[in-house]
Amino acid sequence: MQPGRSFGRYRHRAWPLWIADAAYALEAVRFLLDTDFPTVFGPGPEIRAQLGVPPATETSAWLSRGLVPEIPLVSIELPSNWDIASQRRHALARRRSPKLADFVRNPVRDTNAAHLAELAGQAWIAHADRIETWKIIPSASAETIYDALWHAHRAAARLCYDAALSQKVRCRPVSGIPAAAESWTMHAVAMLDGVENKEEKAE
């Protein structure tokens, strides 16, 4: 993960977004291979030693290699040989989040979705058939929040990929939800039942 541009754009939101991207990528690999493999989480000396890279703060060491600083967040050890089931490969290839217009066409009927829409300031969420959320107390320790961010985004990724495989539900991840004093919804997934309406898309 290259911190420069994304940190300049998102600042305090950068770390959750970096972890989100890494978590979804990790679970995509696990989804494709349908197996657990040894995983190392960063940042820290263990993953840097494994990858043979210096800390991101040592910019001269990176630049001398013709590279820009990166922060390694996760690595997964793959076997020398592996098989990917075509069904899983096709499911991941076709997975797309529903368009906002797909949600808006849906009537509002889930009170939890309506509440999250108000909290997030994103009206389309209210039209979800249902939602899944992951919350934490904002006053929790940095380590607790870090672990919770990984757990939330990995669980959300598995939900999205399994839904793509089943073709019964369509999922759209939701991030950037403001924290309240007593609770922070770190991540959410808004869901629509059924498959995409190809006829409506053609129109």
Confidence grade of residue 124 (pLDDT, cut at 50, 70, 90): very high
Give the position of tokens 């997964």.
76
The beta-strand segments (E) located in the chain are 39-41, 74-76, 130-136, 169-174, 184-193
The residue type of 34 is: D
List Cα–Cα distances, 43 to 47, 109, 149, 174, 193, in angstroms: 7, 42, 14, 25, 38
Q: What is the pLDDT of residues 67-83, one digit of tens each?
A: 888 889 999 988 888 89
The angle at the Cα of 78, spanning 75 to 84, to the nearest 5 degrees, equals 120
| Average of per-residue pLDDT across 137-159 | 96
**26-30, 95-99, 174-178: segment of lowest average pLDDT:** 174-178
Structure tokens at 136: 């934490």
Q: What is the pLDDT of residues 10-34, one digit of tens each?
A: 556 778 888 999 999 999 999 999 9
| Average of per-residue pLDDT across 41-51 | 92
Domain ranges, ordered by start, for the chain: 3-83, 92-202
130 SS3 class = strand
- Judged against a pLDDT cut of 90, whether residue 93 lies above it is answered with yes
pTM (predicted TM-score): 0.89
How deeply is 193 buried, as exposed, middle or buried, from its count of CB atoms within 10 A (0-12, 13-18, 19+)?
exposed
Instruction: Report d(CA 85, CA 95) in Å as an integer.
Output: 16
Give the position of tokens 């598995």.
158
| Average of per-residue pLDDT across 122-136 | 97
Structure tokens at 22: 């890494």
Helices 142-166 and 86-94, packing angle to 10 deg:
110
